[in-house]
Structure 1
Amino acid sequence: MTAIDVTDRKQLTKAVKSLAKSCAVMKAAHDHCGVPEWRARPGNYDGLARIIAYQQLSTKAAGTIWGRVEVVLGKVTPASVLAADIDSLRACGLSRPKIAHIRSIAEAVQSGTLNLRRVAKASDEAAQAELVAVKGVGPWTADVYLMFCLGRWDVFPHADIGLSEAYRMITSERKRHPPKKFLKTGERWRPYRGVAAHMLWSYINQVREEQRGGA
């Protein structure tokens, strides 16, 4: 299991510099953005549910929706989600599929089918397997939970369009790599693939901000 203290900037900086030294793509990302902030989230049901809620939305829009959810539920727990009226969650801005997913995860946690403490202690592979066994949790969600909530720095969500688009932009390739090919591409960044993902996210977010005139 490979994990870091995500609040330790020295460890993160060391990993970033190692990647930048060994890979031209990572050097370009580092030169443009420096050392990224690690996207740390709570390592519990709240953190997993939040990842579901944020999928396919801008950070700003998702944050607004999640803020409403927290107001409605108070503390986001499996019990509070299962006790909540579905219409009240819809009114917060959550889609029906996302509500179904966070409820499915809540049921799995309550029944013991999904044990997030066990997941936190497991290897990356074992943790991913336990997470994706739950309806509503796909490989991308599992990978992001391991990175954001557990601080695993060698997990790579290879199906993430933002990551493959950032790579395409840096390399000036005509098309994004399909997920299977991008997974192979990411092998060169072991054992810091999660750090590489944060560097690519940081790059594309900054470039898009510059394109909007925010730089």
Structure 2
Amino acid sequence: MSFTPLLHHAEATAHLSRDPVMREVMARVGELGVLTPTPDPFGTLIRSVTGQQLSVKAAASIHARLVEHLGEVSPETLLRSEGEALRGVGLSWAKVRTVKAIAEAAQTGAVDFDHLATLPDEEIIAELTPLHGIGRWTVEMFLMFALARPDVFSMGDLALRQGLARLHPHLQSYEVMELWQPYRTLAARYIWADNARVKGGGEPVGSL
């Protein structure tokens, strides 16, 4: 599934501007950067998992210590590393189990990370959610920020659900989704950014 990120970003911006409510949000927030697909889906998913539920600064610090400890973030180095050593760089036991599960899936071929980006969104979700500690929300963030998929909107994200209710209180969620398809990823990013203007923060912790 190949596309030109800059072209899709421009198309997405134009499409979302047709919704007067979203157009106001976009005017308040300003231009958002263009997302581009990662060249390393495996390493990016590991980084996303290690950074979840942490501040951006804490997530970066732990990932830096992980890289220093492993030398290279790969299935082999993760599986060779003892759990206590991974705990020592700052990972919780839950995250240790998750990164080990991802590494094992990559090493055994249960998940082919080299070809993962060629699959449709729902197939990627089906590939990754059986792994320990990987839920649909995690994969949806991965689709958005690692693979730069243009039409992902996580209904499992509380801030997004609240944003829908705030922006379009008189519409059902499926009606709003129809308005924003096929560029719901950018719509989600604008909702997070608009929330940040009022509450502080930004895009989801762990996003890349």
TM range (shorter): 0.7 to 0.9
Give per-residue Cα distances to partners, 1:95-151, cap 9 Å, x unaligned. Answer: 110110010010011000011233211111212211213222210111111122212
Map 1:76-115 onto structure 2 (within 5 A). 76-115=73-112
Correspondence for 2:198: 207
Tell me how large the CA RMSD over aligned residues is. Answer: 2.4
Does the CA contact (< 8 Å) of 2:97 and 2:132 recur in 1? Answer: no
Alpha-carbon deviation of 1:188?
Answer: 2.9
2:117 to 120, 130, 137: 120
**Does the aligned pair in 1 maintain the 2:12–2:183 contact within 8 Å?**
yes
| TM-score normalised per structure 2 | 0.83
CA–CA distance in 2 between the matches of 1:31 and 1:90? 44
TM-superposed deviation, 1:182: 5.2
Match of 1:117, SS state, is coil
- Paired residues of 1:132 and 1:138 also in contact (CA < 8 A): yes
Corresponding residue for residue 52 of structure 2? 55
| Among candidates 18, 24, 30, match of residue 28 of structure 1 | 24
Which segments of 5 or more consecutive residues in structure 1 lack a partner in the other structure? 174-180, 211-215
Q: Where in structure 1 do 4 or more consecutive aligned residues deviate above 6 Å?
A: none
For residues 161-176 of structure 1, what are the structure 2 equivalents within 5 Å? 161-167=158-164, 170=167
The alignment of Structure 1 onto Structure 2 pairs a total of residues equal to 198
Change beyond 3 A, Cα 1:39–1:83: farther
Bigger Cα displacement from structure 2, 200-209 vs 27-36? 200-209
Letter in 1 for 2:27: D
Q: Secondary structure at the match of 1:116?
A: coil
2:12 is aligned with 1:12: no
SS in 1 for 2:32: coil
Q: Indicate whether 1:64 and 2:61 are aligned.
A: yes
Q: In the alignment, is residue 194 of structure 1 matched against residue 185 of structure 2?
A: yes
For residues 70 and 81 of structure 1, the distance between their equivalents in structure 2, rounded to whole angstroms, comes to 10
Paired amino acid for 2:197? Q
* 5+ long unaligned stretches in structure 2: 202-208
The structure-2 alpha-carbon separation of the partners of 1:135 and 1:23, relative to structure 1 and needing over 3 Å to count, comes to farther
2:70–2:81 CA contact under 8 A, matched in 1: yes
Does the CA-based 8 Å contact 1:38-1:148 persist in structure 2?
no
TM-score, normalised via structure 1 length? 0.80
Equivalents in 1 of 2:174, 2:98: separation in Å? Answer: 26
* Aligned residue identity for 2:32: P
> Residues 168-212 of structure 1, C-alpha deviation per residue, up to 9 Å, x if partnerless?
5556x7xxxxxxx757643431100111112122222333349xx
Distance change (3 Å), C-alpha of 1:116 and 1:169: same
Distance 2:48 2:174 in 1: 21
Alignment partner of 1:140 is 2:137: yes
**How far apart, CA to CA, are the structure 1 residues paired with 2:20 and 2:92?**
40
